[in-house]
Structure 1
Amino acid sequence: MAIRYWLGVVQLDHVLRGVAGGFAQVNHGARAPLERMGAADGFVFYSPRASYPDGEPLKQFTAVGRLADDEVFQVTQGPAMQGPASDFKPWRRRVEWDHDAVATPVRPLLGALDFTRDRPDWGYQLRRGLIELTRHDFELIRRQMRPSPGETRPSAASRRITMAR
């Protein structure tokens, strides 16, 4: 099966949980979107905000990796994340995250990405929570998230510390 590429839209605080736990979760824990993905597919998280609902606006690509296997699995969350009836059991996929990647703003890439180029309403499609990317878009985002030798940008770890304060 051919490798595909995906962009999930999640606020940064949830992205950081997923990166730390080695998983991706989209669309409030829905199973169906995750079932469309295959092992080795590329995956990028885009975070419009730091947290929901009124967190700092970010508009950044915040994590990048590859799906580790074909398994879609369900978890039982701790009490802080359970629904009113203690029934929130989200579906997830294992992801091998690039822990050296750094958050990258979307704005400088708008003219170069297939899903944004010549589309002033590009953000509207992100409301679905998950979109398929072209290989071109995935590779461009992945390269932008890798600092050049000698370049200093805040790492995901330092961003995590900043957001925790």
Structure 2
Amino acid sequence: MTKFWVGVVSKEHVQRGVKGGFCQVCHGKKGPLNRMKKGDYLLYYSPKYQMADQEKLQAFTAVGKIVDDSAYQVEMFEDFFPFRRNVSYYQPVKDCPIEQVRLHPEWRQYASKLRYGHFKVSKSFFLYIFEQMKQEK
């Protein structure tokens, strides 16, 4: 059964993942990634543009489908070996501001989870955001 997930990551890091065809959540932890299965969908929510910066973004910034079977580890920097999953990203998309998402009837049940790095959402909630993000090709 297909599940729908949100990862909370700065837009700068989301863009790296989209470019490289991978996702990474919770500072590279393996557990959250392995909760997702091949064929599941992932929305990225970006509270900020850059992780170390204070400039707020508060928008959903990417959407994709998990295309592999399990997390794998990479060396990103010396002494940093995060886990990733391969993702096929839907492109092009536009950012969906949090103000728009607040209009969805399930918003309140997910709002407090945005401080966590990874969580499951309903298909209805996912599709609502995805529709807002689609751009005409």
TM over 0.5: yes
Letter in 1 for 2:42: F
Following superposition, the deviation at residue 113 of structure 1 comes to 4.8
Match of 2:86 in 1: 94
When Rg is computed on C-alpha atoms for both structures, the one with the higher figure is 1
CA-CA distance at 1:101 after TM superposition: 1.2
The 5 Å alignment of 1:4-153 reads 4-77=3-76, 82=77, 86-114=78-106, 116-117=107-108, 122=111, 124-147=112-135
Deviation at 1:103, TM superposition (A): 1.0
Normalised TM-score (structure 1): 0.78
Cα contact 2:63–2:89 (8 A) shared by 1? yes
Post-superposition CA distance 1:43-87 (Å, at most 9, x none): 00000000022242110100001101212111011xxxx3xxx32
Using the size of structure 2 for normalisation, the TM-score is 0.93
| 1:147 Cα offset (Å) | 2.6
Tell me the amino acid that sits aligned with residue 81 of structure 2: K
Q: State percent identity of aligned pairs.
A: 37
Task: Please state whether the residue corresponding to 2:126 is helix, strand or coil.
Answer: helix
The unaligned stretches of length 5 or more in structure 2 are: none
Residues 129-151 of structure 1: CA deviation (Å, up to 9, x unaligned): 111010001111111101358xx
Structure 1, unaligned stretches of length 5 or more? Answer: 150-165
Q: Is the 8 A contact 2:33 2:70 kept in 1?
A: no
